[in-house]
Every structure is written in C-alpha cells, then in structure tokens.
Amino acid sequence: MDGKKKRFALNALDMLIILTVIAFAVGYVIKANVVSRLGIGYTSRDVEMTVRLEHERPIKLDYLKVGDTVWNTDTDKKIGTIKKIETKNAEYFIDLIDGGFGYDETDVRVDLSVTIETKGKEDEEGVFLLGTRHVSKGSSFNFFTELTVCYGTVIDVKVLTE
C-alpha cells in the first residue's frame, strides 16, 4: 500500500442513486402532508352533518332558520345550508343535597341540533369539508349565518351519496 491513503470519491452513478433516494423522500413528505390535507384524490360527496349547540337562549331560533346559508368562521367560505333544526330544553348537571348528582331541565335555555347539508371529501377518519377543515364526531365546529354566530360540537356526519 505504499503509505498512500485511499480517497473517497463519488462517481456519476453514486450521485444518481443519492439524488433518486432524496427525490423519493421529498415526494413521500409532500404526499403525506400536503395532498392529504387538501383532499386531493378524494371524491367529493354530499354530506349531512349535525352540530349540537348547547345552552343557547331561545331567541337564537329567531336568527337561525332552515334554508340559511352557513359559512366557516375561520375562512369565511360557504359551507352549505341548514336542512333541519331540532330543539329541546337544556339539561344541567346539578349537585344534590345528599352529595349525589343529577340532571335537571330548564326552559330558560335550549339545546339545538342543527343539520347542515354540504359537500365533503371522505377519508378513513371522517370527512374533509372545503378541502382543509377536518370534521368528525366529537370535533368542535364553529359557523355563522347572516344573523348569528354558532359554536358547537359535531354529533353526526353522514355521507349521503355513494
């Protein structure tokens, strides 16, 4: 070996292999993060979503009507239209004298179930609305109409078309 050190050199084939591996890694990151968030590749379908609004004043019903257009509070984009509104007296959690607990109804406040018809892109976890807002059972959902702002919880999401 005459005391000479071996030099590490990359030839054109080595560079091609390294660039290919980097390209695949970048492509995977883009597909995993960007494409899934935008809903690219998913089929848009008719979706029916029910949102529960708890402990609202009954006057809210004067400002929230079937047929109203619903917009996203974050993006100001149209979500869909209100298809149905159901009401019931609000229930409150109360402490009992004997140390137990229970529920009681009040007619001063109401719980509303607002059904919204919209378009969405379905995935294995729930439904993507507007391509960016992921909605599934239990998630919070805020929207507004022409006359009122609503803060609620999604209690049901159904895909209407196959």
Rounded distance between C-alpha atoms, residue 43 and residue 8, angstroms: 51
Judge if 31 and 93 occupy the same domain.
no
Q: What's the alpha-carbon Rg for the chain, to the nearest Å?
A: 26
**Which of 37, 50, 52 is CA-nearest to residue 121?**
37
Q: Which helix (H) or strand (E) holds 23?
A: helix 12-30
| CB 97, CB 107: distance < 8 Å | no
Average pLDDT, the chain: 83
Same domain, 93 and 118: yes
Distance, CA of 92 to CA of 85 (rounded, Å): 21
Would residue 4 count as lying in a domain?
no
Q: How many domains does the chain have?
A: 2
Tokens found for residue 30: 């883009």
Q: Model pTM greater than 0.85?
A: no
pLDDT value of residue 96 = 82
What does DSSP assign to residue 60?
Answer: G
pLDDT per position as a tens digit, 35-52: 555 555 566 788 899 999
Domain around 15: 9-38
